[in-house]
Amino acid sequence: DVKVTQSSRYLVKRTGEKVFLECVQDMDHENMFWYRQDPGLGLRLIYFSYDVKMKEKGDIPEGYSVSREKKERFSLILESASTNQTSMYLCASSEIQTGELFFGEGSRLTVL
Amino acid sequence: AQSVTQLGSHVSVSEGALVLLRCNYSSSVPPYLFWYVQYPNQGLQLLLKYTSAATLVKGINGFEAEFKKSETSFHLTKPSAHMSDAAEYFCAVTRMDSSYKLIFGSGTRLLVRP
């Protein structure tokens, strides 16, 4: 069964802390994504990676960075967490031909 | 700018009734279109996708959607709702500038009354 695995389902952090969200996929997909999900806003793209060490900003990259050192792993980094980054974070990988996304179960981050 | 509009943030139906969730997109060229479902505290799962083949697309759990180019719509239907269908549903479309990326609607939460 194909899978996208996010390392932490629930995190609670304090303002100013550095936060790492890890994501691993086993489908050998080139493309990986980080989305943020907030009520009434749907999913918004934070960053996208189309190959190892390659990344592209999405619609809301401010306050975030990413790392992709290996094809199967894509990390989202909050250098200094703020309360407005409290949200559900979803990692996904995709097939090139159709853009179909395969999602992890999400990481719910609370910043106090 | 491209957009996806889902009409109704909440839809409530009785068990056994027809489910209709609306999705309209803004685009001049038929893209790839998707419906995803999200159950509580889980990620999104693909329900069905349109990839320029048949305009009526059948998905999992008895759902189907019809692509209507003239109406720029891709509404999701199911003839008879089940309690287990209660979830949030997202319509998505590939971007014009990159088929790698999707644009999502804001979601519709389906409530099923016993």
Q: Taking 90 as the threshold, does the pLDDT of residue B101 lie above it?
A: no
Q: Are A98 and B43 in contact (CB < 8 Å)? A: no
Q: Which residue on chain B is closest to A95 by alpha carbon?
A: B100
Q: What pLDDT score does A2 carry? A: 66
Q: For B68-91, how does the pLDDT look when each residue is reduced to its tens digit (9 = 90+)?
A: 988 999 999 999 999 999 999 999
Q: Taking 70 as the threshold, does the pLDDT of residue A1 lie above it?
A: no
More confident residue, A85 or A41: A85
Q: Which residue on chain B is closest to A101 by alpha carbon?
A: B46
Q: For A56-82, how does the pLDDT look when each residue is reduced to its tens digit (9 = 90+)?
A: 999 999 999 999 999 999 999 999 999
The DSSP secondary structure of B78-101, one letter per residue, reads ESS--GGG-EEEEEEEE-SS-TT-
If you ran DSSP here, which 8-state letter would residue B61 be given?
G
Interatomic CA distance for residues B77 and A71, integer angstroms:
37
If you ran DSSP here, which 8-state letter would residue A12 be given?
E
Q: For A2-22, how does the pLDDT look when each residue is reduced to its tens digit (9 = 90+)?
A: 699 998 899 999 999 999 999
